[in-house]
């Protein structure tokens, strides 16, 4: 079953986002697409504990689309200490940068409200920060 989501296109700063604004749509989207990505990540790297933590907490969250200050977002420190991840992140950011500059839309970052930890969107976050985007769209998750 393929679910269609009612994305809207919105420009913020120098970039265009495709966003979902209804909390139920955001929840359905992250539970399908983000969870699938994390399950794959976990199979490839079962020792990365943050993926398990995020997979555990995601179903308990409620989400809202918000514009937040990119300086408030905190990448997971354990993840950012993995040399292979940093190297691949820079490669992915370099590849994504051109399409973002050409106007290809990106999805909002996924951020946990408690501590504003970045859960998904490290590549987008890297490019947005490189171009000094103070305000970014994020799906902000709150544990209910």
The C-alpha atoms of residue 38 and residue 55 are separated, in whole angstroms, by: 7
CATH number for position 43: 3.90.1530.10
| Domain that residue 117 falls in | 8-143
pLDDT in tens, 82-140: 999 999 999 999 999 999 999 999 999 999 999 999 999 999 999 999 999 999 999 99
Average of pLDDT values for 42-60?
A: 91
Q: Does residue 2 fall inside a structural domain?
A: no
pLDDT at 1 over 60: no
Of 48, 58, 31, nearest in space to 119 by CA? 58
Strand partners, 16: 11
Look at the chain and report how many structural domains it folds into: 1
> Would you list the DSSP string of 38-72?
HHHHHHH-TT-HHHHHHHHHGGGEEEEEEEEEGGG
Closest CA to 137 of 70, 76, 75: 70
């Amino acid at each position: 079953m393929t679910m269609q989501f009612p994305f809207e296109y919105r420009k913020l700063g120098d970039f265009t986002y495709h966003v979902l604004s209804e909390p139920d749509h955001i929840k359905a989207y992250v539970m399908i697409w983000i969870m699938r990505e994390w399950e794959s990540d976990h199979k490839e790297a079962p020792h990365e504990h943050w993926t398990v933590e995020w997979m555990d907490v995601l179903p308990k969250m409620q989400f809202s689309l918000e514009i937040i200050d990119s300086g408030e977002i905190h990448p997971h420190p354990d993840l950012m200490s993995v040399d292979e991840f940093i190297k691949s992140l820079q490669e992915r950011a370099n590849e994504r940068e051109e399409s973002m500059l050409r106007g290809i839309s990106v999805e909002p970052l996924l951020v946990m409200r408690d501590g504003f930890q970045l859960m998904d969107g490290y590549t987008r976050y890297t490019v947005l920060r490189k171009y000094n985007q103070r305000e970014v769209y994020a799906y902000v998750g709150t544990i209910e």
